[in-house]
């Protein structure tokens, strides 16, 4: 096995182990993501990347993670996610919220249907910030505990 492959494997094992530890403590709340993406080659930078789940925002349908960047009219960033309990994974580009959307304005947003459980995600990619600068976003990492859908039939 090559040295590079061994290093990559070790990093993945440590990252997944740390993510599982954070999931157990329920640190995924409506706040800036745990490790912010690092913008490169754009002096103005970007605003904070944030995530929410249904316990943070009652308008979410459950078993979803809502991501947004506090970078009005920014475009190009991506989010990739993995549910550590179910293996559901995906990736999508952020899109600008429609003009006039309450509280979110024209911020870049993404909504992921992840299923319930601990979800580790990364925000990354080429992004044009509010100042019109092209940025390279080194991955920022987040861990969210996504609650299951409420089942009214099981409410005693």
Other C-beta atoms lying within 10 Å of the C-beta of residue 72: 15
pLDDT score at 19: 34
Domain covering 3-148 in this structure, CATH number: 2.60.40
- Greater model confidence, 106 or 5: 106
How far apart are the C-alpha atoms of 156 and 147, rounded to whole Å?
19
- pLDDT value for 3: 53
Output the CA angle 48-51-53, nearest 5 degrees: 160
**pLDDT at position 151:** 65
Supply the pLDDT for residue 108: 95
- How much is the pLDDT for 153? 58
Mean pLDDT computed over every residue of the chain: 82
For the segment 60-79, what is each residue's pLDDT rounded down to a tens digit? 878 999 999 999 999 999 99
Q: What pLDDT is stored for residue 105 in this prediction?
A: 84
pLDDT single digits (tens) 13-63: 333 333 333 333 333 345 799 999 999 999 999 999 999 999 898 888 789
DSSP 39-66: EES-TT----EEEE-TTT-TTS-SSEEE
Question: What are the residues facing 117 on neighbouring strands?
Answer: 146
For range 118-124, the mean pLDDT:
98
Burial class (CB in 10 A: 0-12, 13-18, 19+), 144: buried
Q: Which residues pair with 127 in a beta bridge?
A: 135
Which pLDDT value is given to residue 68? 95
């Amino acid at each position: 096995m090559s040295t590079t492959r061994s290093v990559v494997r070790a990093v993945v094992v440590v990252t997944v182990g740390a993510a599982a530890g954070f999931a157990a403590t329920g640190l995924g709340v409506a706040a800036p993501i745990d490790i912010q993406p690092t913008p490169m080659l754009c002096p103005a930078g970007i605003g904070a990347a944030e995530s929410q789940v249904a316990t943070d925002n009652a308008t979410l349908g459950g078993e979803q993670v809502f991501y947004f960047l506090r970078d009005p009219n920014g475009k190009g960033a991506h989010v990739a996610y993995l549910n550590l309990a179910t293996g559901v994974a995906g990736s999508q580009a952020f899109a600008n919220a429609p003009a006039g959307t309450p509280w979110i304005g024209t911020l870049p947003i993404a909504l992921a249907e992840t299923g319930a459980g601990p979800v580790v995600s990364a925000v990354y990619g080429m992004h044009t910030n509010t100042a019109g600068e092209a940025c390279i976003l080194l991955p920022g990492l987040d861990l969210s505990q996504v609650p299951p859908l409420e089942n009214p039939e099981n409410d005693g």
